[in-house]
A and B are shown apart, each in its own frame.
Chain A
Amino acid sequence: MARVTALGQAALRWVSILAVLILWQVFAEAHVVSAFLLPSFSTVSVRLYHDVVSGDMILAVALTLYRAFAGFALAAVFGVAIGILIARISVMRWFFDPLVSIGLPMPKIAYLPVFILWFGVFDASKILMVTFSAIFPVIVASWAAADGVEGVLLWSALSLGAGRRQLLWEIALPASMPQIFTGLQVAMPISLIVEIISEMAMGGEGLGGSIMTEMRFADSPGVFSGILAIAIVGAVLVKAMELIRRRLLLWHPEALAG
């Protein structure tokens, strides 16, 4: 029964996507607006296919993913470290608490000009822009997770012969993993979004960069095929994070239940 509903829901998702695509196609074919303003889905798909076959799209996706992942990885490593340190060391909490409160809700992309000024317009500044945007949810999730580790887990480890230094790696970190991973799942789409916006603003190829180039050449099917590609890449990334979560947190009730 649960299985049937799950399948049904998966199908429903495709139904709604399909409906939008059909509407798009019908509306475009009706020529209510010009093909330049709204090229049809079939035109855009053919264009996307050609861009993939020619290798242009592969290159753009690879470049965007490389920078998004690099920024994400830095945010993950430093975000988890900072979050756990805040939870454990009162000086760190005193220092970072106000900064995180201000930084978390702030639109980090507003710093783009500063990043360009400081780090130029090449890979380094895009990667750091991504890190800066993605690190806050990771810090907050890791902080909350480390704060919430049950004291008796640490106590039992100590009484089984663990040293204080082993507590972090062997107990606190694995106990915090579900919440930390939730933070990473929030940070992943942020990384992709910020990377693409940075490319649009700074240039430098990639998915965002090539859309802006195509727009300058009034290549509207090119723009739309870029948007389609972004949608697909984003959906794949989110799904991939879900799958990794399931594998990594095999022990968690949520995985065991499914």
Chain B
Amino acid sequence: MTGISFHEVSHTYRPPRSAPTLALERVSLDVREREFLALLGPSGCGKSTLLYLLGGFLPVEAGAVTVAGKPVTGPGPDRGIVFQNFALYPWKTVRQNILYGLEKQRLPRAERERRARELIELVHLGGFDNSYPAQLSGGMKQRVAIARTLAVDPAILLMDEPFGALDAQTRALMHEELLAIIRRTPKTVVFVTHDVREAVYLADRVAVMSARPGRIKEIVDTGFAGEKGPALTGTRAFADKVEHLWDLVRGEAILAQTRRD
């Protein structure tokens, strides 16, 4: 049971020495079990905030966030998260970063090492086991962060623009890897992005958010559930879906832009 529900959730940031920001306003959203949901919206619309509430990192002050019917009360290994800025431990090597979550589970040492090896291979970082994050490129760091999160095999995967720092080619490879991983060990995924094509390609449904304060503007079924693959991106149906979502997002992006000025 990994269904997720947001019910009338609002969130206000109250920084000590500046004006409060209403980041989310009465957001209601249901994510079905084993669904891949993309959150699409302009920068600053509250996508990360939504993810942090679900992760249990921020207190739910208005409304309700539940997982499998139970209110979220704090972080836990059932909800793995890949942060926007990696959040790697700079004093640990690639291998040690990936091992951290495994050490928290009561696995025998040999088993932990075996899983770490597998994950390093999975994200194509073989040979960098003993490198420190400071020695890696942005794309490599991002892959370490993904491997570290996958290591504990969370039922729910929260990803905050996880491929933002990758070049187009690596990003396409990572898309295939991610889809393969989810086919092998099905998960409920909430995937934040501001890349329309990425959202359409990966997700079963795309929730489009409005500019601040964030609300869910529309939820679009991509309808490509069974036929994911590089060939999909060339089809007419795919292009139409991207176009449709672009229209929805464009207005919000412009709104977000004018508000910032």
Contact = CB atoms under 8 A, between A and B. Distances in A.
B135 interface: yes
Interface of A: 150, 152-153, 155-162, 171, 174-175, 177, 249-253, 256
List 3 A-B pairs, minimum CB-CB distance, nearest first: A161-B104, A160-B101, A158-B75
B79 interface: yes
B100 A157 contact: yes
Contact of A177 (B77, B91, B105): B91
Given A152-B83, A251-B90, A158 B105 contact: no
A152 B133 CA distance: 16
A153 B152 contact: no
B85 interface: yes
Given A156-B87, A160-B104, 19 more contacts: A152-B83, A152-B87, A153-B89, A155-B81, A155-B87, A156-B148, A157-B100, A158-B56, A158-B57, A158-B76, A159-B77, A161-B105, A171-B89, A251-B90, A251-B91, A251-B92, A251-B93, A251-B132, A252-B134
B134 A159 contact: no
A253 B136 CA distance: 11
B69 interface: no
Contacts of A252: 90-91, 134
Interface in B40-64: 52, 55-57
Contact of A159 (B75, B90, B91): B75
Contact of B81 (A159, A162, A253): A159
Contact of B101 (A161, A171, A250, A251): A161
Interface string B130-169: 0011110000000000001101100000000000000000
Interface of B: 52, 55-57, 74-77, 79-81, 83, 85, 87, 89-93, 100-101, 104-105, 132-135, 148-149, 151-152
Determine which residue in A150, A155, A249 has the highest number of CB atoms from chain B within 10 A of its CB, and name it: A155
A10 to B, nearest CB: 25
A157 B99 CA distance: 12
Nearest to A152: B87
B186 to A, nearest CB: 20
Contact of A155 (B55, B91, B133): B55
B153 to A, nearest CB: 11
Given A152-B87, A153-B89, A174-B91, A159 B104 contact: no
B57 A162 contact: no
14 contacts: A152-B85, A152-B87, A155-B55, A155-B75, A155-B83, A158-B57, A159-B80, A160-B101, A160-B148, A160-B149, A160-B151, A175-B90, A177-B91, A253-B134
Contacts of A250: 132
B109 to A, nearest CB: 17
Contacts of B148: 156, 160
A175 B91 CA distance: 7
A254 to B, nearest CB: 9
Nearest to B55: A159
Given A155-B55, A160-B148, A161-B101, A150 B77 contact: no
Contacts of B57: 155, 158-159
Given A155-B55, A251-B134, A161 B152 contact: yes
Contacts of B80: 159-160
Nearest to A174: B91
B259 to A, nearest CB: 26
A160 B100 contact: yes
A173 B214 CA distance: 36
Nearest to A173: B91
Contacts of A249: 91
A256 B77 contact: no
A161 B112 CA distance: 15
A176 B74 CA distance: 25
Contacts of B92: 251
B79 to A, nearest CB: 6
Contacts of A155: 52, 55, 57, 75, 81, 83, 87
Contact of A160 (B85, B135, B152): B152
